[in-house]
Amino acid sequence: MDTSQLESEMKFSEFYERWIRQLEGHLRLLLVAPPQHSSEAEFEPIVRKLTAHHKEYYKVKWAWAQQDALAFFVPEWLSPLENAYLWVTGWKPSMAFRLVESLKEARSESGASLAGLSEEQVRGIEALRLRIKAEEERVEMEMERQQVAVADRKMVELARLHGLARRSGDAGAAAQVDGLAEVALKGLAAGLEKVMKMADCVRLKTMKGVLDVLTPMQCVQFLAATSMLQIHMRKWGKIRNKSSK
């Protein structure tokens, strides 16, 4: 790993830790949201604040990805537990629909629930789920295309030429092959950055779509559940890391 890549990862890890701490602060606001008999308008500022927080994450992520997109496919700032649940550098959009189903069936001590979804809302969520499933499949097809590109005939030939040049001791030929390989790897990295952004766009579209279907009060309940899941996954991952050392 070169110095610039290490610095990039360290800086993003600092941003991510700060972002998670801020998410915890937002979660506290969600948990002390106005009671259910309050007007829907009272919930809207809370929802806007948290959605803006998520948009900031992707804005910063995309900016860093321009420097080193590959780092987001093996993020050192996440624990092995968090990495195990990644789908193309983030959460899988279809998980949001499973969470909605869980919230429909369960009630927390505070009474938070999505059990009151209307038939129209249920149809809206189902229609969104089908659209998102199709978009997930497109992302996976593009990811597969990028993986196949690694085994492309040109890449295989470059690897063979690199080996020959090294064994022959021809420094000039080796440098030339290294230059060609660097260009090819930059192309692969650009392809991975593209598929990462495709996946992130599906994530953002999923969140917006779900929130558009729900009432402001239901949005607070959904966002509280998603935030709690992400925060606790982070904490469980850190605890497991410490216990395994």
Helices (H), strands (E): how many in the chain? 8, 0
State the pLDDT at residue 196: 97
Residue with tokens 């500022």: 45
Cα atoms found within 13 Å of the Cα of residue 187, Cβ hemisphere only: 13
d(CA 212, CA 75): 31
pLDDT at 3: 44
Cα–Cα distance for residue pair 71/6, rounded to 1 Å: 9
- Average pLDDT per consecutive 10 residues, the chain (245 residues; last block may be shorter): 50 93 92 72 89 96 92 92 95 95 68 73 96 98 86 61 61 58 72 95 97 93 93 90 70
Spell out the domain ranges in the chain. Answer: 3-244
Biggest alpha carbon distance in the chain?
Answer: 79
Count CB-CB contacts under 10 A for residue 112: 21
